[in-house]
Structure 1
């Protein structure tokens, strides 16, 4: 008695059937297997008048405008720049936190000396320029103190002219 195959067929019959199927396939080598392609299906049943409706696929094809992409890139650049400035300020302030009186005097002494020399030179140049300029007036000087007032009115507008003679 032959042992049964798990599908209920005797083992020898299963082997015979397998050999037959392989032989049939080998005789037709040019035949390609049937390819299955995904298909689309549109449900044309009417939707209910009230209640819940079935989900509908809503494809999202967003295109970012150029100005929005530019603003995004600029904001990233500004953020990175401000972060760099903040790190630099933090380093400077950390350095200033450890300042001593001696270091302040050593750093500011050259600037104070330069400012003192600049002030002395500017004062000397100002005195030299003031000494050179002299105003000499020759000729008669007259003062006119008579003022003639002429007014002309026409409609809503008034024109006033003051003549000094």
Structure 2
């Protein structure tokens, strides 16, 4: 099947060359540059001869939402804190790795101090209780030496019960 141009007569040699030149120039024509939005603000107002510069309003054009920036700052803080704790743990474990008498004493010293304070507090509370307690025994004292002994045995288990009365 052959393509026929029914709307126009065929182009002459010079017309075809001119049309080809136009199509090529249109295809390779440089595009108009896209206008970019400025990312900074420059204030060209003249500065006063002395004193502070008056504030200039700058529009807030953040790309990142405030909550995302807050989470980013918090995660940086948590990461820095964990890094500090890890460094401290590393230093403590490095100190514990070289076991010496002084190292062992320095590790156990806080525990011994806490135990000593707890013992002192417990002793003070015990003395305070004993000082306040006043036992007065009044009334008859009865001593029974009668013992009831019951024994039950069933199968391989046995049970003995002693009642002192």
TM-score, scaled relative to structure 2: 0.36
For the pair shown, the structure with the greater C-alpha radius of gyration is 1
